Amino acid sequence: MSTNPSRMAWLDALRGPAALAVALHHSAWTFIPGVWAVVDRRIDVGTWGVFVFFLVSGYIIPASLERRGDVRAFWIGRVFRLLPLLLTALGLALLLAYIGAFALHPGLSSRPLPLAILGNVTMLQELLGVPAVISVMWTLSYEVAFYLLVAGLFAMRQAHRSAAVAIVLALSAVPLGLLMSRPVIGGRADLVAALLGVTAIVVIAVSAWARGGARAAAAVTGGLLGLALVILGSRIGAWQGLIILAMMFAGTAIYRAEQGAIRWRTAVATVATVLACGVFAKDDPGWAPAMLLAVGFFAAAFALRHRAFPRWLAHLGVISFSLYLLHPLLLGVSPNLPMFFLILVSLGYLTHRLVEAPAQRLGRRLTRPSPREPVPSASSG
């Protein structure tokens, strides 16, 4: 991803604490449940962490696609960014489960094996009603739905309307959430889940490799599919699911304001609308403070984005995906909380160096324009 180092530093400074917050949330419930119960009644630290991640994704993902100007390069980059580590983590989870050191979701054994594989490898399992091998994978389903929507808007040349999209999603979340508190896609809907999962793969492949009208039609279909999956398949309900999407597009609105594409008051109104519609989406006293503090933390880092950040903090952000995805695997093998974090950071550094970084380099090589191929302009689409 072609960005200047100063901007990447502030984003990485957000990702690192967010990943550690989610790890702290789960590990504290494991090692110090009595103490953590008091904290969790005041603020859901895990929710704070994932909303910071969602804001960061909303800010950077559309920018990445628009700088590339190429849906194929965008999807290849996403696949090589996420899938190698995901497959590694899934393999480790199954190995630990085999030796009795990790508990798989009991519902996995009741679903057809091909469907379980399809749901988890596409990262859409949360929206297809399929149990996740690793519990924290639920956020990846919303990330993929967001990617589908962003690619669809890009294909329709409507990517600049992110503020309007965020507001519409937030305002729609309340009535749809009240009407659809339970997912329509779920339970034993194996055939429907399989068809939707395969459709997602097909529209991504066609939008990446086809040309002309077929590419645009596939991207638009993918966007509609992503939205439908969130509305109909969110295990946490349509209200929370749509607020998550709205929060990501609110992050995009901040990027648009920074670039001068929209007014700052529009971006601020967008964020305020998402918060107003989202704070009551979950009946949990720790939910609303987590949302508000996530936005405040993002705003503070954004205000300091031109300043230098400690190298260690930025590096935690670089390995944040490893920290996030691998930490549930350590809960059953670590003896205490300090050792848990020591092992986690060491393992995150190792997997980033051996798995993530080589895969990302390969993805960049595959999407690098040939000498005879013109480089897309930043304004393409």
Q: Are 80 and 361 in contact (CB under 8 A)?
A: no
Helical segments of 210-318, H only: 212-233, 238-259, 264-278, 287-303, 311-318
Task: State pTM to two decimals.
Answer: 0.94
d(CA 356, CA 333): 23
Choose among 268, 303, 15, 289: nearest CA to 166.
268
Task: State the residue for tokens 């989406």.
Answer: 281
Q: How far is CA 340 from the centre of its chain?
A: 24
* pLDDT value, residue 19: 98
Judged by DSSP in three states, 207 sits in: helix
Choose among 285, 306, 335, 326: nearest CA to 39.
285
Q: Are 122 and 201 in contact (CB under 8 A)?
A: yes
In one-letter notation, the amino acid at residue 268 is V
Q: Are 107 and 131 in contact (CB under 8 A)?
A: yes
* pLDDT value, residue 46: 97
Tokens of 296: 């405040």
Angle, alpha carbons 236-279-105 (nearest 5°):
20
Q: Are 285 and 279 in contact (CB under 8 A)?
A: no
In one-letter notation, the amino acid at residue 305 is R
d(CA 357, CA 336): 30
* pLDDT value, residue 212: 87
Tokens of 3: 């960005």
Helical segments of 129-211, H only: 138-155, 162-179, 190-209
Segment holding 338, helix H or strand E? helix 337-351
Q: Are 291 and 273 in contact (CB under 8 A)?
A: no
Q: What is the pLDDT along the chain (381 residues), one digit of tens a residue?
A: 334 445 578 999 999 999 999 999 999 999 999 999 999 999 999 999 999 999 999 999 999 899 888 999 999 999 999 999 999 999 999 999 999 999 999 999 999 999 999 999 999 999 999 999 999 999 999 999 999 999 999 999 999 999 999 999 999 999 999 988 788 887 678 999 999 999 999 999 999 999 889 999 999 999 999 999 999 999 999 999 999 999 999 999 999 999 999 999 999 999 999 999 999 999 999 999 999 999 999 999 999 999 999 999 999 999 999 999 999 999 999 999 999 999 999 999 999 999 999 999 999 999 876 554 443 333 333
d(CA 73, CA 64): 10
